[in-house]
Structure 1
Amino acid sequence: MYRNDEITRNIDWMTVILYMACVMMGWLNVFAAVYSPEDHTSIFDFSNNAGKQLMWIGTSVILIICILVIHHRFYDSFAYIFYGIMILLLLLVLVAGTNINGSRSWFKFGAVSIQPAEFAKVATSLALARFLDAPGINLTKRKDLMYIAGIIGLPAMLIIASNETGSTLVFASFVIMLYREGLPGFIPAIGIAAAALLILSLIVPKLYIFLAIAVLALIVIWMLPRYNRTPTNILSISLIGLIMMGVVTGVDFFVNDVLQKHQRNRIKVLIDPNIDPLGVGWNVTQAKIAIGSGRLHGKGFLEGTQTKFDFVPEQSTDFIFCTIGEEHGFVGSAIVVAIFIGLLCRLIFLAERQRSKFSRVYGYCVAGIIFFHVMVNIGMTIGIMPVIGIPLPFFSYGGSSLWSFTILLFIFLKLDSRRTSMFARG
């Protein structure tokens, strides 16, 4: 057994301080995003998003206390149960959920809306940590890879069925953890190559890509040692080249017949931001104008004109970084990015010092998820990532987002605090 004072003594306070900085800066910027001299003048006005966010922050404190008080073995022992409950909720939301902005992924309780997809990341992280912690698991075995693909793929498919593409793509962040735990490097390399081919196929004429693949295959064959230049190896390399050509050929079908119209538009805007600045490119165009107008030091707190006149949609949620850039400029934006980099570096450091594989795997899941959210969210506001609608951790308005990231982070801090206690006892 252990005393409760050990929890506060051994918890990593540097991470807690970074968390608090993100949450408080997020709250101030949510207020700036909804501020109006005529309608909303108080940050404590519970009729606007800033006031509501304060309530979510308060309830997050209660969640933190509960997480830290519960015994650390609880998260390991009940990992699969959490996962099973989350799968049931994802199934239930498809039937009984409320449709918000074209996505049936919300449970609505009066004025409060909860999105199970946000919490699915926590449950999946725990389930993966529990599975990989089992004896004999090896990421080079096909059977184990299939189990892992099932753990990740099942909630991802249910989320995409509710038309939440952005939340589904976040599950790709688990590749970071899997690579750390021994996933063969060629698997993520294939994914990166497929994404690169997709983008190139939309920019470069396909004939040029075919020629480049053929030349590359010939170079690889020529560079093989003579004793490895067997008919089998030559056939394998040629087959890979043909598969790559097949992927390029199928891009048009994928983009035009598989993707929905708004998804096609987002890819087109990513490739050519000026394709339709008053239509499909409006969000990205206005976001870049807002961030650029902040220049070095910004226009000042509550002085953002792009923000005040609602030029950027979803200003307090998905595009909260626009408010940061406009009102606090390059300096403020750099500080926010530096805080996230510091948080991610700290999480990796904590994960590496864990004495149990369960804690290490879970820690890398936390770092991977936060990294993916930050990279994509900030990237889409400056036009280097497609607009897929995922929040900026701890900054964007929303109870489900804040709760899920708080739970995700503090479960790991609980596991880490127990590690340091065990180490101290030697």
Structure 2
Amino acid sequence: MNNQRSFFFNVDWLTVLIYLALCTIGWFNIRAAVFDEAHPDIIDLSTEYGKQFIFIVTALVLGSVVLLLESRFIAALAPAFYVVTVLLLLLVLVIGRNVGGNQAWIDLGGGFRLQPSEFAKFATCLLLARYLSSTNVKVTELKSFLIAGGIIFLPMLLIKLQPDDGSTLVFCSLIFVLYREGLSVYFLVFIGLVATLFVLALLYNVWFVVAGIVVAGLLLLLLFRRSRQFSVGVLIATVACVAFVFVVKPLYFDGLKKHQRARIDEVLGLNHDKRGVGYNQNQSKIAIGSGRVWGKGYLQGTQTKYSFVPAQSTDFIFCTVGEEWGFAGSVTVLGLYLFLLLRIIHIAERQRSPFSRIYGYGVASIIFCHVIINIAMAIGYMPVIGIPLPFISYGGSSLWSFTILLFILLKLDSNRMGMNYA
């Protein structure tokens, strides 16, 4: 009886409702993106929308199984989940199927494939939470920081070898988990500064950027000249920034492949190739813009109907929302994601267990990163790196992994009044 009460009454059903709404929106928009008049039935299993129905049903089964597990069991097996996903990431490098230039899939037969990198996300969040919630572990200490960084870096490295740049980048979002657990805000400022200097060094003359850095450094020295320690820090930072600016272009041209540089150049406005590398994003922006305020109506999108946008049911599913449901539909979807993220953070903050709180922030970070990058990619503010929109894009691996990621948090939350199981 106690288990039944825990299952039915302690689960955050509002979060489940948001999850179901996003899955439903995804299912209908996948149908719109690849609609075939010869197969109008929405559960026709020969179509992507029919297969997505199966993925949603199986995802609900997986979510229910997670809710029936013991929270202690989930925490105890965190290292095992991590090891299994690492082994799968190694396996896919050997026997994986190459799709779109990435050897990221294990063929299961019958048209179904498994993408281990998707499952590595929740496994990494679990082990990171397990480690950071351990006794005497402080992320402000170098040893703890390096171990936590290693937990994140290992799957990143294996995914980069596929090479799947999009999924690799998503793991960087876990820096927000470390920040929540005590990592200095200056570390985030440092990352933001590096990214800003990287872009500026590509857009402008190097000496112009160097002059800007020197002027900024001098202003800080004048404003805080009474603090000797701060002044020394500013001098060191200024020299480091100038040195970094001079190596940006060599790193850019030698460290990235030609097609990767072309995508970045397109976003930064350094190149305009609407028929080549910029084709996907240009068509996506046309589709979203043509929807205007209320959209063209369900199954009425011309960009969608005539398949002008490649990968429209996966990477560019948001342009289907924009074209057929307009600004109103796009804002609704963004509102659901915002509500979901705020709900996840609220759930994380009310936990009594450090393990559950840390894991909750991992969930929020992963979903936030996916949403921001996918939508920015669809509207031309990020290079095309191929990551799905959570719960909405077509694909079993993506939906299953996000479902497990979210429902583990819901299970941990349902037992939040119990003991600390970290």
Give yes or no for TM over 0.5: yes
Q: Which residue matches 1:361?
A: 358
Equivalent runs, 1:319-334 vs 2, <5 Å: 319-334=316-331
Q: Which residue matches 2:105?
A: 106
Q: What is the number of equivalent residue pairs in this alignment?
A: 419
Preserved contact between residue 286 and residue 311 of structure 1 (Cα < 8 Å): yes
Equivalent of 2:402, from 399, 402, 405? 405
Preserved contact between residue 273 and residue 284 of structure 1 (Cα < 8 Å): no
Aligned residue for 1:99, secondary structure, equals: strand
Q: In the aligned structure 2, how far is the partner of 1:219 from the partner of 1:80? A: 49
**Cα deviation code 1:147-191 (max 9, x no counterpart):** 011000011000001100000000111111111111111111111
| Residue 200 of structure 1 pairs with residue 200 of structure 2 | yes
Q: Which residue matches 1:62?
A: 61
Q: In the aligned structure 1, how far is the partner of 2:90 from the partner of 2:2? A: 39
* Cα distance change, pair 222–269 in 1 and its aligned pair in 2 (3 A): same
Specify the code of the residue in structure 2 equivalent to 1:306.
Q
**Cα deviation code 1:347-381 (max 9, x no counterpart):** 11110000000000000100111111111111111
Preserved contact between residue 6 and residue 421 of structure 1 (Cα < 8 Å): no
* Cα distance change, pair 373–56 in 1 and its aligned pair in 2 (3 A): same
| Residue 3 of structure 1 pairs with residue 3 of structure 2 | yes
Deviation at 1:265, TM superposition (A): 1.2
Equivalent runs, 1:220-299 vs 2, <5 Å: 220-226=220-226, 228-229=227-228, 234=231, 236-272=233-269, 275-299=272-296
Specify the code of the residue in structure 2 equivalent to 1:74.
F
Q: Which residue matches 1:50?
A: 49
Preserved contact between residue 36 and residue 308 of structure 1 (Cα < 8 Å): no
Q: In the aligned structure 1, how far is the partner of 2:15 from the partner of 2:43? A: 27
Q: Which residue matches 1:216?
A: 216
Q: In the aligned structure 1, how far is the partner of 2:303 from the partner of 2:417? A: 48
* Cα distance change, pair 273–49 in 1 and its aligned pair in 2 (3 A): farther
Q: Which residue matches 1:128?
A: 128
- Comparing 382-391 and 19-28, the one that deviates more: 382-391
- Comparing 134-143 and 399-408, the one that deviates more: 134-143
* Cα distance change, pair 82–422 in 1 and its aligned pair in 2 (3 A): closer
Q: Which residue matches 1:173?
A: 173
The RMSD of aligned alpha carbons is 1.6
Q: In the aligned structure 1, how far is the partner of 2:367 from the partner of 2:346? A: 15
Q: In the aligned structure 1, how far is the partner of 2:317 from the partner of 2:398? A: 13
Moved over 6 A (4+): none
Specify the code of the residue in structure 2 equivalent to 1:192.
G
Aligned residue for 1:43, secondary structure, equals: coil
Q: Which residue matches 2:345?
A: 348
Deviation at 1:239, TM superposition (A): 2.9
**Cα deviation code 1:68-90 (max 9, x no counterpart):** 11111111101111111111111
Deviation at 1:29, TM superposition (A): 0.3
Equivalent runs, 1:32-43 vs 2, <5 Å: 32-37=32-37, 39-43=38-42
Deviation at 1:242, TM superposition (A): 2.0
Q: In the aligned structure 2, how far is the partner of 1:90 from the partner of 1:187? A: 29
Q: In the aligned structure 1, how far is the partner of 2:142 from the partner of 2:278? A: 43
Q: In the aligned structure 2, how far is the partner of 1:92 from the partner of 1:379? A: 32
Q: Which residue matches 1:81?
A: 80
- TM-score, normalised on structure 2? 0.96
Q: In the aligned structure 1, how far is the partner of 2:6 from the partner of 2:270? A: 53
| Residue 389 of structure 1 pairs with residue 389 of structure 2 | no
The unaligned stretches of length 5 or more in structure 1 are none
Preserved contact between residue 377 and residue 391 of structure 1 (Cα < 8 Å): yes
Preserved contact between residue 224 and residue 231 of structure 2 (Cα < 8 Å): no
Preserved contact between residue 7 and residue 418 of structure 1 (Cα < 8 Å): no
Aligned residue for 2:65, secondary structure, equals: helix
The unaligned stretches of length 5 or more in structure 2 are none
Preserved contact between residue 373 and residue 390 of structure 1 (Cα < 8 Å): yes
Preserved contact between residue 265 and residue 271 of structure 2 (Cα < 8 Å): no
Q: In the aligned structure 2, how far is the partner of 1:273 from the partner of 1:66? A: 50
Q: Which residue matches 1:164?
A: 164
Deviation at 1:262, TM superposition (A): 1.8
Deviation at 1:101, TM superposition (A): 1.1
* Cα distance change, pair 281–30 in 1 and its aligned pair in 2 (3 A): same
Q: In the aligned structure 1, how far is the partner of 2:232 from the partner of 2:356? A: 44
Preserved contact between residue 359 and residue 415 of structure 1 (Cα < 8 Å): yes
**Cα deviation code 1:263-313 (max 9, x no counterpart):** 111111111187111111111111100000000000000001101111111
Q: Which residue matches 2:310?
A: 313
**Cα deviation code 1:189-227 (max 9, x no counterpart):** 11111111111111121111100111111122222243x
Preserved contact between residue 85 and residue 123 of structure 2 (Cα < 8 Å): yes
**Cα deviation code 1:102-131 (max 9, x no counterpart):** 111111011210000000000000001000
Specify the code of the residue in structure 1 equivalent to 2:299.
L
Preserved contact between residue 68 and residue 414 of structure 1 (Cα < 8 Å): yes
- TM-score, normalised on structure 1? 0.95
